[in-house]
Chain A
Amino acid sequence: MIVEFKNAGLSYGEGAETLSDLNMTLGEGEFRFLTGPSGAGKTSLLKMIYLAHRPTRGEFSLFGEDAMQAPREALPALRRRIGVVFQEFRLLDHLTAFENVALPMKVAGINQNQYREDVSELLNWVDLGNRMDAKPATLSGGEKQRVALARALVSKPDLILADEPTGNVDPAMSERIMKLFIELNKLGAAVIVATHDLHMVQSLGKPVLRISDGKLSRAAGSGGAA
């Protein structure tokens, strides 16, 4: 099992739980859309999965390991198996598009000679082959999003998490991105895409999880287990 929550809850500080009674599984090669109104807890759920926060109660396992009890030193290895497309991109402003995409490889200690071609190819694929040396400040919102996407995918992660990955791109690029997620999913990567784009969700016919008021449920008519 890639992700498994059992009766998990998350609260920030002493406040009420942002997410509560969370029960969810995501197996290898599974695809889920995550929908729900703004502020419902989609990003919080993704944050727990990519280990920015750990649940404050319940059980949580990631790649079969007990992520609640995992020591701090074990977290980087788990995070390297996850590719995240952040809603706000989170690119490093002082690095070029190429260097931003190469970041997970560099952090993993891989030599530049080994990833140079992959990074270049990925940037070409997202139509940014001619902007490799551009800094984020000179990129448009859509270009930043594509750099963020390339960074999430460059290390061929086992789990891909995307928070509104098509929010800043045109319909054609949006379609390409979603097709890429589906292709990567077919190749074995588990994928969770948080989105407001219900038209896209319906058109792709993938299982949907709906989150509302901090509670997760399986959307009516969608396959897969919540």
Chain B
Amino acid sequence: MSRKNAKDNGDEFEADEKSRRRSLRRRRSQPLLPEAGAGGAPLTAVIAVISFLAVLAMAAVLIINAAAHDWTASLRSEITVQVKGANAADVDAGAAAAMRILNETDGVLNAVLRSQEESAALLEPWLGQANVSAFLNVPAIIEVTVTPALRGDLELLRNRIAAAAPGVTLDDHASWHGRLATAARSGQALAFTVFLLVMGAACAISIFAARAGLAANHEIVSVLHLVGATDDFIARQVQRRFFLLGLRGAVAGLAAALVALIFAGVIARTDVGTDSFLPQFTLGGWMILWLATVPLVTCLVTALSARLTVLKALREQY
């Protein structure tokens, strides 16, 4: 009987010990700085707004870049030959001479003579849908696609065309190309400046929140120091907290910005169709990949700002 009791007691002890060990293993360690100390939900919300604006600014950079690339690529591969004349017969003769030269020239991939009607249609936005040809001697337009090699040296072709008939000129779109490139660069610079300003705001918010958090957790920081924590250890705790808060907010901001961009793209396509001169709000895979880096950058800026602020404050105050 007593042996049975001893066995029961032994089993009980073993069960208690197993339960105690399980309980110890289950124990999850809490962060050393309490949640409220770093600003918590309000900071997450601010980071979400900042991330939203940063993603939109970066999207503007990417959209302008893509549009400028499309515009300038098209302008780079095409040239236009314009044929003026005193009357329609002169224009037709000049156009025929120009076409002959173009077709004989190495490096000309394609040359299309636009009809009088098509040329007149180009004037419709300014002159309306009247019979323009009846009172105006509309020049002929030849759209020419050339190889990059020929595009690089058009002087010979320009001279030959000019000699073929009076009133024939070759436009390499250099002026347009320059203006568009400048406009695109300005737009990109503006969008990127906005992006940097938004990142600056993220940095400022982090500094403010880190200082406030440190002040609120003065006693905790002091105890951590006294049990042997290095400044770097304490800064790592703050940095990890800010990174996680920043990540939560930044991902929310990215999601909201993607929804806004998709919505804007749908509206733009509905309103102006796909042939618009304006850039398309199309989010390609590569563009989404670029935009996905913005939350990461936001988190890094947030965490790094907090870390540097804490290190500086610890050196000054503790």
Q: Residues of A at under 8 Å CB distance from B?
A: 50, 52, 72-73, 76-77, 79-80, 84, 90, 92, 94-96, 98-99, 102-104, 106-109, 112, 116-117, 120, 132-133, 151
Residues 267-318 of B at the A interface (beta carbon under 8 Å): 315
In the complex, what residues of A have CB within 8 A of residue B27's CB? 98, 112, 116, 132-133
Residue of B nearest to A95 (CB): B30
Give A38 Cβ to nearest chain B Cβ, in Å.
Answer: 22
A90 and B228 form a contact (CB under 8 A): no
The answer to whether A92 touches B225, judged by C-beta atoms less than 8 angstroms apart, is: no
Are the CB atoms of B30 and A99 closer together than 8 Å?
A: yes
- 6 pairs of A and B residues whose beta carbons are closest in the complex: A80-B228, A94-B34, A79-B228, A107-B229, A104-B227, A76-B230
Q: Which residues of A sit under 8 angstroms from B225, Cβ to Cβ?
A: 76, 79
Q: Are A72 and B226 in contact (CB under 8 A)?
A: no
CB proximity to A under 8 Å, residues B224-270: 224-231, 233
Nearest CB in chain B to that of A50: its residue = B226
Q: Are B29 and A99 in contact (CB under 8 A)?
A: yes
Per the bound structure, the CA–CA distance linking A96 and B230 in Å amounts to 22
CA distance A142 to B104 in the complex (A): 104
Binary interface profile of B, 104-128, with partner A (CB < 8 Å = 1, else 0)? 0000000000000000000000000
Contacting residues, chain A, for B29 (C-beta < 8 A): 99, 102, 106, 112
A98 to B24, CA, bound (A): 10
User: Residue B227 contacts which of A73, A77, A117, A151 (CB distance < 8 angstroms)?
Assistant: A151
CA distance A224 to B226 in the complex (A): 28
B-side contacts of A102, CB under 8 Å: 29
* Separation of A108 and B224 alpha carbons in the complex (Å): 11
Q: Given A104-B228, A106-B32, does the pair A92, B24 have CB atoms closer than 8 Å?
A: no
A50-B226, A103-B227 known; A90+B219 contact, CB < 8 A? yes
The secondary structure that dominates the B interface is helix
Would you call B226 and A92 a contact (CB within 8 A)?
no
Q: Is A108 within 8 A of B226, CB to CB?
A: no
What's the Cα separation between A115 and B20 when bound, in Å? 15
Interface positions of B (Cβ within 8 A of A): 20, 24-25, 27, 29-30, 32, 34, 219-220, 222-231, 233, 315
Given known contacts A94-B34, A99-B29, A79 and B226 CB-to-CB distance under 8 angstroms: yes
Chain A's closest residue to B35 (CB) is A94
Q: Find the A residue at minimum CB distance from B25.
A: A116
How far in angstroms is the closest Cβ of chain A from B224? 6
Establish whether residues B24 and A120, one from each chain, have CB atoms under 8 Å apart when the complex forms.
yes
B241 CB to closest chain A CB, in angstroms? Answer: 13
A108 to B229, CA, bound (A): 7
Q: Are B230 and A92 in contact (CB under 8 A)?
A: no
A116 & B24 in contact (Cβ 8 Å cutoff): yes
- Cβ contact within 8 Å between B228 and A76: yes
Of the candidates B30, B227, B231, the one whose C-beta lies within 8 Å of that of A94 is B30
Residues of B within 8 A of A117 (CB): 24
Cα-based distance from A5 to B29 in the complex (angstroms): 40
In the docked arrangement, what's the CA distance between A90 and B226, Å?
A: 10
Shortest Cβ distance from B37 into A: residue = A94
Chain B contacts for A72, CB-based, 8 A: 231, 315
List, in ascending order, chain B residues with CB within 8 A of A133's CB. 27
Contact A52 B24 (CB under 8 A): no
Chain B residues near A50 (CB, 8 Å)?
Answer: 226
Cβ–Cβ < 8 Å partners of B20 in chain A: 120
Q: Which residue of A lies closest to B31 (CB)?
A: A94
Would you give the shortest CB distance from A209 to chain B, in whole angstroms? 22
Closest Cβ of chain B: how far from A197's Cβ, in Å?
A: 24
Contacts A72-B315, A116-B24, A120-B24 given; does A92 touch B32 at CB 8 Å = yes
Q: Which residues of B contact A132 (CB under 8 A)?
A: 27
Q: Which residues of A contact B30 (CB under 8 A)?
A: 94-96, 99
Nearest to B36 among chain A residues (CB) is A94
Residues of A within 8 A of B219 (CB): 90
* Closest residue of B by beta carbon distance from A120: B24
User: Using Cβ atoms and an 8 Å threshold, which residues of chain B touch A108?
Assistant: 228
Question: Are B227 and A79 touching (Cβ within 8 A)?
Answer: yes
Which residues of A have CB within 8 Å of B229? Answer: 76, 107
Chain B, residue nearest A119 (CB): B24
Task: Establish whether residues B315 and A84, one from each chain, have CB atoms under 8 Å apart when the complex forms.
Answer: no
A92 to B221 Cα, complex, angstroms? 10
**In the complex, which residues of chain B have a beta carbon less than 8 angstroms from the beta carbon of A107?**
224, 227-229, 233
A52 CB contacts on chain B under 8 angstroms:
226
What residues of chain B lie closer than 8 Å to A103, measured between beta carbons? 32, 223-224, 227
- In angstroms, Cα B79 to Cα A76, docked, is 73
Which residues of A lie under 8 Å from residue B315 when comparing CB positions? 72
Q: Which of A92, A106, A108, A109 has the most CB of B within 10 A?
A: A92
Tell me, in angstroms, the Cα distance from A133 to B29 when the chains sit together. 11
Chain B residue, CB-CB nearest to A116: B24
The interface residues of chain A lying within 8 Å CB-to-CB of B222 are 90
* Bound-state Cα–Cα, A181 to B229, Å: 25
